[in-house]
Amino acid sequence: MKLRNLAIIAHVDHGKTTLVDKLLQQSGAFRENQRVAERVMDSNDLEKERGITILAKATSVVWKDTRINIVDTPGHADFGGEVERILNMVDGAIVLVDAAEGPMPQTKFVVGKALKVGLKPIVAINKVDRPDARIEEVVNEVFDLFAALDATDEQLDFPILYGSGRNGWMSRAADGSQDQGMAPLFDLVLEHVPEPTVEDGPFRMIGTLLEANPYLGRMLTGRIVSGSVKPNQAVKVLGGDGSLVEQFRVSKILAFRGIERQPIEEGVAGDIIALAGMTKGTVADTFCDPAVTEPIKAQPIDPPTVTMSFIVNDSPLAGTEGDKVTSRVIRDRLFKEAEGNVALKIEESSEKDSYYVSGRGELQLSVLIETMRREGFELAVSRPRVVMRDDPATGERLEPIEEVLIDVDEEHSGVVVQKMSERKGELVELRPSGGNRVRLVFYAPTRGLIGYQSELLTDTRGTAVMNRLFHAYQPYKGPITGRINGVLLSNESGEAVAYALFNLEDRGPMVIDPGDKVYAGMIVGIHTRDNDLEVNVLKGKKLTNIRAAGKDEAVRLTPPIKMTLERALSWIQDDELVEVTPKSIRLRKAILDPNDRKRAERSKLSA
């Protein structure tokens, strides 16, 4: 059967996964009466809850005697490592662009990578039925983007489709017929995307996606570059430097058939398959015939920009809510994650029971923490820090700078510019984006953006949309003022009492509920001033046998501020930690004992 390999790339929320749903439906991958979840490719719980794609996944459809392998990719810049690897597997890409928003930072990032690899993209303008669609302008913006990314003349001559992924139609003209469904897209893929290039020689394949299957063990997905592979065949694994990683026999070969994966008797060059049977082979390794000696060159992956410490939980409540608490289990889990996720980097720190985890951004790291806590892990994590570098030529200190794109109502643009300049952001572009909104583009240091998302939504009454993308390493921009409030700390261990919380309300808003377990050194509220204050949240009401009218009214508490994981990570300071367990998220000081804390502060000041 003829083959085509295709990736769908776009910014977050531009409709990639919904488009794949319709392609599967209209190609006959589902039975008429088969019940299928919406966004069928988003398979894990976190993806379903957040409505975002986190892991790249492959599927396949058959159209006019040709099998089209489709890879759905994530849209957040934090998960860009997934997309960078996928581009080795495919020969063409559909660049999906929202008809109102136009090309956004992540579109720019992924398209730049795709053009560099030499792919000839198809541009699909999605959501043309939006009332604020500006189709012609968006097409011009896409062309300008391609030109700015040094596309070749052949790549600039891209075909364009218009349509609505949700309503299941695409057309060659913006006002074209909607009756043909997705047929124009399928036909254009067959016409425009080249057949996979097949090299001569024995079996060779580069690993692209790694997963653990409960029945088959480690499974690696990739595209076969040359030769073919059968079950029970001997295969060797070569590392990036040509060293032998392991030799194994293939226990099963699975190919994508619709949303199912079915065992096949032979994997042929050009096809995307999954192999089972290896124990050590991982992504970016070359899987090949024992006669092969040279590995396939893997695409370089952009380095991580944010790092955090993952520390064994040593609070008084450690081990009461989770069952995976020891440093060995946490270490094994982190290294296992780093095997399949090449954008993550794990290092053991000099302190015992602590690991440095570096990634692309807060979202990527918070998704890892959330996944671990759902698996029963308990751990403490520090505030995200940026990964600094030294310029090899001048020895100057460099820090990561991001391109920040903010769409906001015109009335709120002043406060956004002011807050971004406080965070050392530099305004490089300001233009109207229709509907009384403006688009602001800044170059700002990554460390200044940590925790800005929630503040931005407060300042703009929830109307602003912020997108970020790594821009470059530039000279250090100087100190940035962080959080101005101190914290309220518990001075005792026990359960918080409503009466005590009610009396402390003048000191600042609380972050705990009555009845919550607390311990000395745990953060229970936000102080209205800039210093930390120790308070007693266990103090009950002194009872007497005298009853007075109006004295014993029920205590009415102001609802506490609920800290989500992302908000907690961005809110804490360098001397504080977030304690994460399967049931709760608590904030605490890194040093719980007040005397030790004061000693540490004094030694810091004298140093």
Q: Beta strands 533-535 and 487-490: pairing type? A: parallel
Give the burial class of 369: count Cβ atoms within 10 A of its Cβ; 0-12 exposed, 13-18 middle, 19 or more buried: buried
Q: Residue written as tokens 């990964």?
A: 387
How would DSSP label each residue in 354-373? EEEEEES-HHHHHHHHHHHH
CA distance 175 to 166: 17
Residue 219: burial class (beta carbons within 10 Å; 0-12, 13-18, 19+):
buried
Cβ atoms of 76 and 363 closer than 8 Å: yes
Count of residues for the chain? 607
**Cα angle vertex 352, ends 351, 353, to 5°?**
120
User: Binding site: which residues?
Assistant: 13-18, 126-129
Residue 146 and residue 131: Cα distance in Å, rounded? 26
Is 242 buried (19+), middle (13-18) or exposed (0-12) by CB count in 10 A?
A: exposed
As a whole number of angstroms, the distance between CA 143 and CA 156 comes to: 7
What DSSP string describes 149-166? TT--HHHHS--EEEEETT
Give the residues across from 344 on adjacent strands. none
- Here the tokens at position 185 are 């897209």
Half-sphere exposure of residue 283, counting CA atoms within 13 Å on the CB side? Answer: 25
How many CB atoms within 10 Å of residue 265?
A: 7
Q: Which residues of 131-156 are buried (b: 16+ CB within 10 A; e: fewer)?
A: eebbbeebbebbbebbeebebeeebe
Cβ atoms 53, 47 nearer than 8 A? yes
Contact between residue 516 and residue 567 where contact means Cβ atoms under 8 Å apart: no
Rounded Cα gap, residues 211 and 375, in angstroms: 16
CB within 8 Å of 582: residues ≥ 6 apart: 321, 322, 373, 374, 376, 377, 378
Give the three-state DSSP class for 132.
Answer: coil
Name the token pair of 315. 């609070």
Cα–Cα distance between 185 and 96 in angstroms, integer?
Answer: 12
Question: Reduced to 3 states, what is the DSSP secondary structure of residue 178?
Answer: coil
- Per the annotation, binding residues for GTP are 13-18, 126-129
Q: Which amino acid is at 317?
A: L
| Distance from C-alpha of 565 to C-alpha of 568, rounded to nearest angstrom | 5
Query: Is 489:532 a contact under the CB 8 Å cutoff?
Result: yes
Rounded (10°) angle between helices 452-459 and 413-422: 150
593: which residues sit within 8 A by CB, 6+ positions away? 520, 521
- State the first-to-last Cα distance of the chain, in angstroms, to the nearest integer: 71
